[in-house]
Structure 1
């Protein structure tokens, strides 16, 4: 069994610390687990029930968008109209991968071809992690969130090992690897859906002090704390960095030059999906350019690249 550090009891906390509110730090739960577990397996049914209970409590459910454990988590949450998020991996070269499950339909989704970036997405989207039985993919995900919980201990995201089978694995780690007290202490174990809920509530109470801290930058997705909206200065810094590395790169320079030879100014150009704005900057040398870009990040980069552009971006 993982050894957890003592948690405060509810009756030892001040009344204001006991109050549940919409401002809680843990809002999204990421499920990791095997894609090959069938729907009639007890593990599948247990994950389905856990996701249902969590969704009823207002938590959004995040998973990798595949079959097995991932679909169980989605279906359980959707059964009570809960919020669901899938982070897909769509590789171009990998030979052994189950792929996107078309039956795993979520409210939100993202798709990546890079496995590591996809894993990072699952980690950043989740405020807590439920790690179920799985293969090497689950092992890699578990190792990453376990390490992050130790590295950011104090405002860390809880790692919940789901199932009795974890006993032997954790004992082996403690016996044969170099596992310190904090590494043992950041792990929880649950064998029922109700225990998952209780652990999340307890961890929330333990790290309430983190709600007063504000995090931003690349590491903000690894800790629990107050959300920080990107400021204009941050967007400018991102745009400046992008400009330094990619300035002047046209997506389709030959096509742009052909277009400019055919359409004589004065002309008005609508650039849909502006991206970083290189094409808009090139076209704005002769034309009046209006850009549409749904990504706030790229909209700010485009404005940096092409100050003259007229943005109709919904911000």
Structure 2
């Protein structure tokens, strides 16, 4: 390599791209600004750290269900009470309850789960202070939405979705997409609040399905109910079916491998 070239890992830097200082020099030079904290390579390390911390925190969680819903729902409202009840039913059935850790529906689900089982909160850093609700047993605050979403999906056997705004819809449609495209094991997505969600389901079947934009069986990915007992039953049955499907897939794979040998 000529003297005007500089190597940075697999990259070759020449001309104006060639740095005027070395890594050691920049590390030991205390006169530099803190701007490096906000550069993309450093963000990669922070993202990596969030994944590692999240995986470490939740690795031994066991069976769990993510409950989504609006932070704006007030205590004492029908949806708050519904979320509290379903959180308690899920915990009594042996599931940890995962929420976004904030107020409203999230607080209600954590509150319901708290006396009976493990209550988990996965918070997010926002421009306005939201904080972790008082009913979370196991909590973590994330910088990045996509890392947090990975934790919701990776450690859940089902999603229960109560009324909410853009954030709730974002979680809902991402979950539907992941299940539809088989990026995650096919497991139930339960919508609670019939009068709230029915117009959305009507649009999905009357517009998306009618115009051929989704498959005819895609609406069946969503289960609609107002009954906490039915919601838990759907979760349990979906979990059992997914487990049975996994067993059958393993048996088929083993049989095929044995036949090949």
**Alignment partner of 1:83 is 2:113:** no
Secondary structure at the residue paired with 2:121? strand
Give the alignment of 1:179-194 within 5 angstroms: 179-194=214-229
**Alignment partner of 1:140 is 2:176:** no
**Alignment partner of 1:126 is 2:126:** no
Give the alignment of 1:289-308 within 5 angstroms: none
**Alignment partner of 1:150 is 2:180:** yes
Unpaired segments ≥5 residues, structure 2: 1-61, 251-261
- 1:63-86 Cα offsets, whole Å, 9 max, x none, are 000000000011101132x11111
* CA distance, structure 1, for counterparts of residue 139 and residue 85 of structure 2: 22
Which residue is equivalent to 1:169? 200
Shift of 1:127: 1.4
Secondary structure at the residue paired with 1:207? helix
- Equivalent of 1:113 in 143, 150, 175: 143
Secondary structure at the residue paired with 1:181? coil
**Alignment partner of 1:31 is 2:61:** no
Residues 205/127 of structure 1: CA separation in 2 closer, same or farther (3 Å cut) = closer
Stretches of 4+ aligned residues off by more than 6 angstroms: none
**Alignment partner of 1:65 is 2:101:** yes
Which residue is equivalent to 2:86? 50
Q: TM-score, normalised by structure 2?
A: 0.65
**Alignment partner of 1:198 is 2:228:** no
**Between Structure 1 and Structure 2, which shows a larger proportion of helix residues?**
2
1:27–1:60 Cα contact (<8 Å) kept: yes
* CA distance, structure 2, for counterparts of residue 138 and residue 128 of structure 1: 15
Shift of 1:210: 3.3
Residues 169/190 of structure 1: CA separation in 2 closer, same or farther (3 Å cut) = same
Aligned positions, number: 183
1:129–1:159 Cα contact (<8 Å) kept: yes
* CA distance, structure 2, for counterparts of residue 136 and residue 167 of structure 1: 17
Shift of 1:141: 0.3
Root mean square deviation of aligned Cα: 2.0
Unpaired segments ≥5 residues, structure 1: 1-25, 215-315
* CA distance, structure 2, for counterparts of residue 175 and residue 163 of structure 1: 20
Shift of 1:169: 0.7
Shift of 1:111: 1.8
Shift of 1:163: 1.1
* CA distance, structure 1, for counterparts of residue 233 and residue 189 of structure 2: 13
2:114–2:135 Cα contact (<8 Å) kept: no
